[in-house]
A = this chain, B = another copy of it.
Amino acid sequence: MEVINTIKTASDQVFVDIRQAIVEGDIAQGSKISEAELAKCHGVSRATLREALNRLESCHLVERKANIGCRVVALTPDKLLEVYQVRTALEGLACRLAAENMTHNEISEVKALLNQHLSTQKVKQGESYYQEEGDLDFHYRIITGSKNSHLIHLLCNELYQLIRMFRVQMGMNGPRVSKAFDEHLAIINAIESKDGELAELLMKRHIGASGENIKSRFNLETVPA
């Protein structure tokens, strides 16, 4: 389900490793990154590490300032809202384009995927990891189905990991699982009917619901008893 990203160089490997460490929370949000330290830690030179840092900056996982250094992005509620607004607009577009451009075959595959999710969900009730992967997989297929390579790159390479970081570190799972399945089904049906307008609307609503879900969780955490 990962975007095909063949690792050819040392900086590729370091980039992927650090990216995962940030997404999984092994490197804390907002923490400063020491080039020398991380380079030694990963067994590469600073030049190689800096190459990796540049790419991390491209996916908005770190922020650099000249002569000052590099910090892991901090997931404030504001930033969360901002990212979800952008994501909603872009995936809404992707969904509309998918209704125009997905082949019959691709649509069938997504429907098969959903059925597979359903059975997996029944077996592993409560265990949300698969569902989360499945959700991302569903979204990934719709996005690539848009056939807009610029949009695909933007979502899959530049925004995807940031969203994953949100979800992983906030432990998104739980009550939305079954609801999400129904929403996915409605979306792929709209796409199959070539109803781009409806597909876009449903996708926006679907993502908006996730956003609201996370937001409410934020409020619960920031206002404890």
Contact B85 A93 (CB under 8 A): yes
Contact A151 B86 (CB under 8 A): yes
CB distance from A91 to the nearest CB of B (A): 10
Contact A89 B79 (CB under 8 A): no
Chain B residues with CB under 8 A of A97 = 85
Contact A150 B82 (CB under 8 A): yes
Q: How many copies does the complex hold?
A: 2
Chain B residues with CB under 8 A of A54 = 51, 54-55, 58
Q: Is the interface of A mostly helix, strand, loop or mixed?
A: helix
Check: A47 CB closer than 8 A to any chain B CB: yes
Q: Which residues A150-176 have CB closer than 8 A to chain B?
A: 150-151, 154
Contact A66 B9 (CB under 8 A): yes
12 contacts between A and B (CB under 8 A): A8-B67, A9-B67, A12-B66, A54-B55, A57-B58, A82-B150, A83-B150, A85-B150, A85-B151, A86-B148, A86-B154, A88-B93
